[in-house]
Amino acid sequence: MMILVTGGSKCGKSCCAESLMNTVDGPKYYLATMIPYGEEAFSAIDRHRIMRADKGFLTVEQYTDIDRVEIPDGSSVLLECLSNLLANEMFRNKKINICSDKIAADILRLKNKTNLLVIVTNQVGYDGICYERGTAGYIAELGRINQKIAANADKVIECVYGIPVILKG
Protein backbone atom coordinates (compact mmCIF):
# COMPACT_ATOMS: atom_id res chain seq x y z
CA MET A 1 0.00 0.00 0.00
CA MET A 2 1.38 3.40 -0.98
CA ILE A 3 -0.30 6.71 -0.12
CA LEU A 4 0.83 10.13 -1.40
CA VAL A 5 -0.04 13.21 0.67
CA THR A 6 0.41 16.57 -1.04
CA GLY A 7 -0.53 20.22 -0.49
CA GLY A 8 0.90 23.67 0.13
CA SER A 9 2.92 25.03 3.03
CA LYS A 10 1.71 24.40 6.60
CA CYS A 11 -1.60 22.95 5.51
CA GLY A 12 -1.65 19.85 7.72
CA LYS A 13 0.15 17.32 5.48
CA SER A 14 2.29 15.83 8.26
CA CYS A 15 -0.63 15.55 10.64
CA CYS A 16 -2.66 13.79 7.95
CA ALA A 17 0.24 11.47 7.05
CA GLU A 18 0.85 10.57 10.69
CA SER A 19 -2.79 9.68 11.23
CA LEU A 20 -2.65 7.37 8.18
CA MET A 21 0.20 5.53 9.90
CA ASN A 22 -2.05 4.85 12.90
CA THR A 23 -4.00 2.34 10.83
CA VAL A 24 -1.19 -0.24 11.05
CA ASP A 25 0.38 -2.26 13.84
CA GLY A 26 4.06 -3.10 14.18
CA PRO A 27 7.14 -0.91 13.99
CA LYS A 28 6.74 2.42 12.26
CA TYR A 29 9.64 4.28 10.71
CA TYR A 30 9.82 7.99 10.11
CA LEU A 31 12.16 8.53 7.19
CA ALA A 32 13.41 12.11 7.42
CA THR A 33 14.99 13.73 4.37
CA MET A 34 15.61 17.27 5.62
CA ILE A 35 19.29 18.06 6.15
CA PRO A 36 19.50 19.85 9.51
CA TYR A 37 21.10 23.11 8.42
CA GLY A 38 20.17 26.58 9.60
CA GLU A 39 17.87 27.93 12.26
CA GLU A 40 14.60 27.44 10.34
CA ALA A 41 15.42 23.81 9.51
CA PHE A 42 16.16 23.10 13.16
CA SER A 43 12.93 24.70 14.30
CA ALA A 44 10.93 22.77 11.65
CA ILE A 45 12.62 19.53 12.74
CA ASP A 46 11.90 20.28 16.42
CA ARG A 47 8.27 21.07 15.65
CA HIS A 48 7.82 17.79 13.76
CA ARG A 49 9.61 15.84 16.51
CA ILE A 50 7.20 17.21 19.09
CA MET A 51 4.25 16.36 16.83
CA ARG A 52 5.50 12.76 16.45
CA ALA A 53 6.41 12.23 20.10
CA ASP A 54 4.49 9.33 21.69
CA LYS A 55 3.28 8.12 18.31
CA GLY A 56 5.76 5.24 18.28
CA PHE A 57 7.95 6.25 15.36
CA LEU A 58 11.58 5.23 14.95
CA THR A 59 13.28 8.12 13.16
CA VAL A 60 15.80 7.34 10.42
CA GLU A 61 17.55 10.08 8.46
CA GLN A 62 18.29 9.45 4.80
CA TYR A 63 18.99 12.52 2.69
CA THR A 64 19.58 10.86 -0.69
CA ASP A 65 19.28 7.38 -2.27
CA ILE A 66 16.16 6.64 -0.31
CA ASP A 67 16.00 2.96 -1.32
CA ARG A 68 19.27 2.31 0.53
CA VAL A 69 17.71 2.97 3.92
CA GLU A 70 18.16 0.08 6.30
CA ILE A 71 14.78 -0.99 7.58
CA PRO A 72 13.32 -4.48 8.03
CA ASP A 73 11.20 -5.82 5.16
CA GLY A 74 7.49 -5.34 5.68
CA SER A 75 7.86 -2.18 7.79
CA SER A 76 5.51 0.75 7.74
CA VAL A 77 7.26 3.92 6.64
CA LEU A 78 6.40 7.59 6.60
CA LEU A 79 8.70 9.37 4.13
CA GLU A 80 8.88 13.13 4.68
CA CYS A 81 9.33 14.77 2.30
CA LEU A 82 9.92 14.55 -1.45
CA SER A 83 10.63 18.27 -1.83
CA ASN A 84 13.68 18.00 0.44
CA LEU A 85 14.77 14.69 -1.07
CA LEU A 86 14.66 16.23 -4.55
CA ALA A 87 16.60 19.34 -3.48
CA ASN A 88 19.27 17.12 -1.87
CA GLU A 89 19.68 14.96 -4.97
CA MET A 90 19.17 17.63 -7.60
CA PHE A 91 21.70 20.13 -6.28
CA ARG A 92 24.32 17.74 -4.91
CA ASN A 93 27.94 18.12 -5.99
CA LYS A 94 27.20 21.76 -6.90
CA LYS A 95 25.56 20.74 -10.17
CA ILE A 96 21.98 20.58 -11.40
CA ASN A 97 21.19 16.88 -11.65
CA ILE A 98 18.09 15.81 -13.54
CA CYS A 99 16.97 13.02 -11.24
CA SER A 100 13.16 12.62 -11.19
CA ASP A 101 13.32 9.18 -12.89
CA LYS A 102 16.01 8.04 -10.46
CA ILE A 103 14.10 9.24 -7.37
CA ALA A 104 10.80 7.76 -8.55
CA ALA A 105 12.57 4.42 -9.16
CA ASP A 106 14.20 4.59 -5.69
CA ILE A 107 10.80 5.19 -4.10
CA LEU A 108 9.17 2.30 -5.96
CA ARG A 109 11.99 0.03 -4.73
CA LEU A 110 11.40 1.29 -1.21
CA LYS A 111 7.69 0.62 -1.64
CA ASN A 112 8.42 -3.03 -2.44
CA LYS A 113 10.19 -3.38 0.91
CA THR A 114 7.32 -1.92 2.94
CA ASN A 115 3.91 -2.95 4.13
CA LEU A 116 2.68 0.64 4.10
CA LEU A 117 4.50 3.61 2.60
CA VAL A 118 3.06 7.07 3.24
CA ILE A 119 4.84 9.82 1.34
CA VAL A 120 4.60 13.55 1.99
CA THR A 121 5.28 15.85 -0.95
CA ASN A 122 4.58 19.49 -1.79
CA GLN A 123 2.84 21.57 -4.40
CA VAL A 124 5.36 24.16 -5.54
CA GLY A 125 4.25 25.14 -9.03
CA TYR A 126 1.30 27.40 -8.30
CA ASP A 127 2.86 30.82 -7.86
CA GLY A 128 3.20 31.62 -11.56
CA ILE A 129 6.61 33.21 -11.08
CA CYS A 130 9.29 32.72 -13.76
CA TYR A 131 12.30 31.53 -11.81
CA GLU A 132 15.87 31.09 -12.97
CA ARG A 133 16.93 27.74 -14.46
CA GLY A 134 17.71 25.86 -11.25
CA THR A 135 14.42 26.67 -9.52
CA ALA A 136 12.33 26.27 -12.68
CA GLY A 137 13.96 22.86 -13.17
CA TYR A 138 13.23 21.96 -9.56
CA ILE A 139 9.51 22.78 -9.98
CA ALA A 140 9.41 20.65 -13.13
CA GLU A 141 11.23 17.73 -11.55
CA LEU A 142 9.04 17.71 -8.43
CA GLY A 143 5.95 17.79 -10.67
CA ARG A 144 7.30 14.79 -12.60
CA ILE A 145 8.07 12.79 -9.44
CA ASN A 146 4.65 13.59 -7.99
CA GLN A 147 2.96 12.37 -11.16
CA LYS A 148 4.97 9.13 -11.23
CA ILE A 149 4.33 8.38 -7.58
CA ALA A 150 0.65 9.31 -7.83
CA ALA A 151 0.25 6.97 -10.82
CA ASN A 152 1.61 4.11 -8.70
CA ALA A 153 -0.07 5.07 -5.43
CA ASP A 154 -3.18 3.39 -4.06
CA LYS A 155 -4.37 6.65 -2.64
CA VAL A 156 -3.54 10.35 -3.22
CA ILE A 157 -4.67 13.00 -0.75
CA GLU A 158 -4.34 16.77 -1.06
CA CYS A 159 -4.48 18.76 2.20
CA VAL A 160 -6.26 22.10 1.93
CA TYR A 161 -5.86 24.05 5.19
CA GLY A 162 -6.03 20.81 7.11
CA ILE A 163 -8.94 19.32 5.15
CA PRO A 164 -8.01 16.08 3.36
CA VAL A 165 -9.28 16.08 -0.23
CA ILE A 166 -9.13 12.63 -1.82
CA LEU A 167 -7.74 12.83 -5.35
CA LYS A 168 -7.35 9.08 -5.90
CA GLY A 169 -8.44 5.86 -4.17
Which residues here bind other proteins, judged by CB under 8 A? 7-12, 40, 122-129, 131, 135, 138-139, 160-163, 165
CB closer to other proteins out of 73 and 132? 132
Query: In the bound complex, what is the minimum distance in angstroms from residue 110's beta carbon to other proteins?
Result: 25
Query: In the bound complex, what is the minimum distance in angstroms from residue 7's beta carbon to other proteins?
Result: 7
- DSSP letters, 43-58, are HHHHHHHHHHTTS-EE
Specify the DSSP element, H or E, that contains 6: strand 2-7
Query: In the bound complex, what is the minimum distance in angstroms from residue 10's beta carbon to other proteins?
Result: 3
CB closer to other proteins out of 73 and 133? 133
Please report, in angstroms and rounded to a whole number, the separation of the first and last CA atoms in the chain: 11
Compute CA distances 56 → 14, 30, 118, 121, whole Å: 15, 10, 15, 22
CB closer to other proteins out of 10 and 92? 10
